[in-house]
Chains A and B, each alone.
Chain A
């Protein structure tokens, strides 16, 4: 890399990093404290009994329990084992990284001067609608088509779980009922929990920070024209269909966190906002790292179908939505 390229890369890299790092911290602190302090039965209790209403409500749970896409997969895995309907869990998994106050705030901040309100509202609405649609479809599928065989088997073994009559939630058997709950287990020292919460937050920060650093590096290379494909990518920017498709592929590869991806999208100034909307909606639902995380819960065939469905639906709606907004303006 020439001295000029080093200088350009450094300026672009540091500026995006400085802009996004505080929002990653905010997201991972929230996620870490929820991880430690939130009893797992809380979500079950908040959802309506009606299957469709429960899916709709699950799409909004991220507003109350904001977690990014990295943190949400272990959470839903645990919740599914604890009896949360799979359709609700998948709706929450897809919606929570987008439909949450931290992502809304970071999107709004990142798009200042570029139609921030429109982009933020469009992102939240599209993320919610897509997640609910997937949840409603999943609610009509047999579990064996969606979940890994091992997980389905564990759900089919009622003797492994039991319900306490007086507390209303399930426990795994073991030497003790060690997980958190609202009844008369011996309380843990607050110091321990605080340390555990900070450790969980730091672990989330590292998980997200690694991908963010890689994503920012690649973005800085494209942003300053150092990357060999920068001109090719710019060439797609004017294409109605090619632009959102290219940015969704980029989102898939970059594997950015939803709390900070808006800062990357906002710098892609050659692309239309419809393409950026596709980037911001597809990325938190499907990317390289999520593929690996999803495989701990879902079947491969289902993941492939989900990826293709999300790509087509988000791309199509983004193009249509941009066209509609331009017509109205």
Chain B
């Protein structure tokens, strides 16, 4: 292939990647994909790719000697790729374009199930997540957790989830009136009366691909209120840790559940 055309095709592939990175950054959607410390790296990477792509595009027709001896059979070449330029363009651009078109910035219920939505806390290999949680006592709860106007302690879902595996935290939280927020989804296990729902948030370590679902069970004692599936809700009630079919469950006996605005950071983050 003509070297100039090859350089143009390669530059375009680089610019498509750059465009995707910068577009998601500019629209703020990058928050759904990367943990905070990776976002500036992605932005700088997007800018760097733009420089690389535009520089090569603008100099595509220029002759440039590298100063090396290229004669002989030494396989020494600075420009010829292993892959045909058109194939390279297709392989690099197609999945990016399709993904940008397909993405809804969140996982489906099936993928969430794979990411631990219906796992019990004991089944999850989350020792590294648990290690991120500080110790919790009644005194600390009163000092560090605000109360709502109707006297519920504001807890994040992760504290309630991990209390299941920590006897001290469990003792501190069991029977406490708490309010928490998360996404509202159907409860598929141990729900014969249809009185339960599940509340979850994702925990992201580096990127959305490594995120895990952090769930608790909601018990209403009657038909749960009609709220949008996978929408954000605030639920208040009394926290319990019953043993059900040999599995310790984090269970919130709900007094009320109301639709809510999503928080600025929808996933829990490492820091």
Contact = CB atoms under 8 A, between A and B. Distances in A.
Chains A and B form a bound pair:
yes
Interface of A: 4-19, 21-23, 25-26, 29, 32, 35-36, 70, 74, 77-78, 81, 109-110, 112-115, 150, 154, 171-172, 174, 177-180, 188, 191-193, 195-196, 198-203, 205-207, 209-210, 213-214, 216-217, 219-220, 223-225, 263, 266-267, 269-270, 289, 292-293, 296
A74 B82 CA distance: 12
A25 B107 CA distance: 28
B107 A10 contact: no
Contact of B49 (A21, A109, A200, A203): A21
B91 A210 contact: yes
B101 to A, nearest CB: 8
B77 A74 contact: yes
B32 to A, nearest CB: 8
A270 B125 contact: yes
Given A15-B207, A109-B38, A224-B107, A200 B74 contact: no
Contact of B83 (A15, A199, A206, A220): A206
B95 A217 contact: yes
A14 B69 contact: no
A210 B83 contact: yes
A8 B107 contact: yes
A17 B93 CA distance: 12
B99 A112 contact: no
B111 A196 contact: no
Contacts of B10: 202-203, 206
Contact of A207 (B49, B68, B81, B98): B81
A157 B75 CA distance: 18
28 contacts: A4-B110, A9-B102, A10-B104, A18-B34, A22-B44, A25-B45, A32-B78, A74-B75, A74-B76, A74-B77, A113-B270, A150-B73, A177-B69, A178-B67, A178-B68, A192-B65, A192-B66, A200-B79, A202-B56, A203-B10, A206-B88, A207-B82, A209-B14, A209-B92, A210-B91, A213-B96, A266-B210, A296-B75
B138 to A, nearest CB: 29
B130 to A, nearest CB: 11
A201 B52 contact: yes
Interface string B28-66: 001011110110011011101100110110010011111
B107 A195 contact: no
Given A13-B95, A206-B92, A213-B96, A112 B65 contact: no
Contacts of B65: 188, 192, 196
Contact of A36 (B67, B104, B110, B212): B67
A22 B73 CA distance: 34
A10 B101 CA distance: 8
Given A74-B75, A179-B69, A206-B13, 12 more contacts: A9-B102, A14-B24, A18-B21, A21-B21, A113-B128, A188-B65, A199-B78, A202-B11, A207-B82, A266-B205, A267-B207, A296-B75
Contact of B64 (A115, A192, A224): A192
B20 interface: yes
Given A18-B33, A198-B56, A174 B71 contact: yes
Contacts of B270: 112-113
Nearest to B80: A203
Given A19-B38, A188-B65, A206-B10, A8 B17 contact: no
A11 B111 CA distance: 11
A201 B55 CA distance: 11
Contacts of B98: 6, 10
A266 B72 contact: no
B102 A6 contact: yes
A200 B66 contact: yes
Contacts of A112: 35, 37, 205-206, 270
Nearest to B90: A210
B230 to A, nearest CB: 12
A174 B34 CA distance: 53
A24 B143 CA distance: 46
Nearest to A8: B111
Contacts of B109: 4
B208 interface: yes
Contacts of B209: 11-12, 15-16, 219-220, 223, 267
Contact of A4 (B38, B46, B53, B108): B108
B255 interface: no
A196 B125 contact: no
B81 A15 contact: no
A146 to B, nearest CB: 17
A198 B52 contact: yes
A132 B151 CA distance: 65
B62 to A, nearest CB: 6
Contact of A14 (B67, B70, B100): B100
Contact of A35 (B13, B59, B78, B106): B78
B64 A196 contact: yes
A71 to B, nearest CB: 10
B260 to A, nearest CB: 23
Contacts of B63: 192
B105 interface: yes
Contact of B206 (A19, A115, A205, A292): A19
B115 to A, nearest CB: 8
A221 B20 CA distance: 20
B240 interface: no
Contacts of A115: 128
